[in-house]
A and B are shown apart, each in its own frame.
Chain A
Amino acid sequence: MSELLRIDDIAVKYGNIQALHGVSMKVDEGAVVSLIGANGAGKSTLLKAIVGLEPLVSGSIQFQDSLIAVAARDTTQHFRFRKNHDILTTDKIAEQGIALVPEGRRVFADMTVEENLDMGAFMVRDDKLTARKKEEMYEFFPILKSRRKQKTRSLSGGEQQMMAIARALMSSPRLLLLDEPGLGLAPLIIQDIFQKIALINQEDNVTVFLVEQNAKIALRASTHGYVMENGRIVLSGPSEMLLEDPKVRAAYLGE
């Protein structure tokens, strides 16, 4: 399998607090990769760094073999006269084919389901294609179809999560990033959502990178896993192996 996303030794700081310390990892094309870790370990920060919402202090990120993020300091050193040209802004990274379903879903609450999906298809400048994509999404998440004219704020948590995933899929991304898709949802709904994620991966060939506190469900859903503690990757390997790992079992599976 070829490498779709490659993260090389990145560091991110919030003021004086270092959130990520030299994190390296990769996501292979077609895989479902999970990143587990406790609250505050730096998982969301990593996703934000990938989509350009957090600047890198050091290191670089490559997507499909081209650089999408590099530490500003390094840019000025290497490309003094082309400053910023090699750091893509979030919208340009989205155009490369990376979609993020953010933590807490962050649907456009004052917009209807349909308008949210339209926004997901902002980069698709073809009305017919957008309409077809929407129909696909309504078929995939039937509940959204019945809610299409409703403001998204009136949706339940599970519905909003589906809405956020559908919105991310509207642009037909190559890589889907999911930040805590199960957060705050009932177990049955979490199961439903992870089934959908598996389908998205298998049937639509979308590579998935998901971040979860719920280690069991994340590792079961993925082929490869990473464990993050205090801004560092402390363990990685095939998910089945991590599920059996005594340290993982003790720290994250409550056994």
Chain B
Amino acid sequence: MGSISEFFQHFLNGLTLGGIYALIALGYTMVYGILKFINFAHGEILMIGAYSGLFLFDYFRGDLPYGPLLMIVFFVAMLISMVISAVLGMSIEKIAYKPLRKATRLAPLLSAIGVSFILSNLAAFFWGTKSRKFDYPFDNTAYKIGDVAITPHQILILVVSFLMMVALKLYIDRTRMGKAMRATSLDQDVAALMGINVNQVISLTFAIGSALAATAGILIALDFKVYPTMGAMAGLKAFVAAVVGGIGNITGAMIGGILLGLLETFGVAVLGIPQGLKDTIAFGVLILILLVKPEGLLGKAEREKV
């Protein structure tokens, strides 16, 4: 294998991993942008999304062979899980965070950690701790382009995460509600003065972030199965990605996620960091960024409100 195709192979692998991190990181960063709060239950929303996807897919697929119909079933299952996760995310906000909005900043944070444990506990109780296999909706034999191998699963991840990020960016930049979200994250009081219903914007933020997490959960599950604690590490690393990109900044979360995916892949493949130390890379990068640029790559140093 030539070194150039080797590079492309790692690049591709890193990009797919990064795409998933980015999808999850967006949820953290959007919520933080508006509430200045880290939703530590985000990883568990991802997990519930993956379970919903799995159950729906298994329920609807019947004996369908690989083919367009099975793909449609898969996407329908994904879409419904996005809605389920969105509703879950909004409900969690209403029940566990909203009443604490005027409390000390630590209170909603602890509440989020509590919700996270409750959700993974409930999942373990109802669905067992054994990991469940999420079958590929396609034959996952890799295509070869020269010396570079790309699996249909990787293509799926790249296409889905790319489309979702573009859609989100357009929504935030161009639409009335999207702009209202940005305005609310910049100045909540003044947004309300414009007639923006801040509670509605917050709900919408949780809905979008949770739907993206469900997608990521399903995409991860295809490779790594579904289990009650699957959201913990994925969530934590995506959180790192969001901080690295500049928490609160949407483009930053996308870049941070992709960067983290690439760093992990190249760290193991090129720098020869043992696979077992892979997670060290993410958290090493986090510490480094915090030391050098605490506000993250695209973040702005916290300004005092006038």
Contacts and interface: CB of A to CB of B under 8 A. Distances in A.
Interface stretch (B16-24, B118-126, B140-148, B193-201): B193-201
Given A104-B306, A106-B306, A94 B179 contact: no
A161 interface: no
Contacts of B130: none
Interface stretch (A115-123, A131-139, A229-237): A115-123
Nearest to A164: B190
Given A91-B197, A106-B306, A115 B179 contact: yes
A215 B183 CA distance: 33
Interface string A25-69: 000000000000000000000000001110000000000000000
Contacts of A105: 306
A160 to B, nearest CB: 10
Contact of A51 (B186, B187, B193, B198): B193
A167 B179 CA distance: 14
A118 B179 contact: yes
B194 A171 contact: yes
B193 A94 contact: yes
Interface string A91-132: 100110001101111101111000100111011000000000
A154 interface: no
B187 A95 contact: no
A191 interface: no
B182 A102 contact: no
A119 B192 contact: no
A89 interface: yes
Nearest to B249: A110
B197 A119 contact: no
A151 B172 CA distance: 16
B183 A100 contact: no
A164 to B, nearest CB: 9
A53 B189 contact: yes
A75 interface: no
Interface string A167-206: 1100100000000000000000000000000000000000
Contacts of B192: 52-53, 89-91, 94
A55 B57 CA distance: 50
Nearest to A53: B189
Given A104-B306, A106-B306, A115-B179, A122 B190 contact: no
Main SS class of interface, B: helix
Contacts of B216: none
B179 A100 contact: no
Given A104-B306, A106-B306, A171-B194, A122 B176 contact: yes
Nearest to A94: B195
Contacts of A90: 189, 192-193
A122 B182 contact: no
A102 B193 contact: yes
Contacts of B48: none
B191 A119 contact: yes
B226 interface: no
Contact of B182 (A89, A104, A111): A111
Contacts of B182: 108, 110-111, 115
A89 B191 CA distance: 12
B180 interface: yes
A119 B198 contact: no
A91 B198 contact: yes
A94 B194 contact: yes
A26 B194 CA distance: 24
A171 B191 CA distance: 13
A122 B194 contact: yes
A161 B107 CA distance: 37
Contacts of B196: 91, 119, 122
A167 B196 CA distance: 14
A254 B302 CA distance: 39
Q: Considering residues B180, B183, B190, B306, which has the most beta carbons from chain A within 10 angstroms of its beta carbon?
A: B190
A110 B186 contact: yes
Contacts of B190: 102, 106, 108
A106 B187 contact: yes
Contact of A109 (B180, B186, B189, B191): B186
Interface of A: 51-53, 89-91, 94-95, 99-100, 102-106, 108-111, 115, 118-120, 122-123, 167-168, 171
Interface of B: 176, 179-180, 182-183, 186-187, 189-198, 306
Given A102-B193, A122-B180, 11 more contacts: A51-B193, A53-B192, A89-B192, A90-B193, A108-B182, A109-B186, A111-B182, A111-B183, A118-B176, A119-B180, A119-B196
- CB-based closest 9 A-B pairs: A104-B306, A90-B192, A123-B195, A94-B195, A122-B194, A108-B186, A119-B183, A106-B190, A91-B192
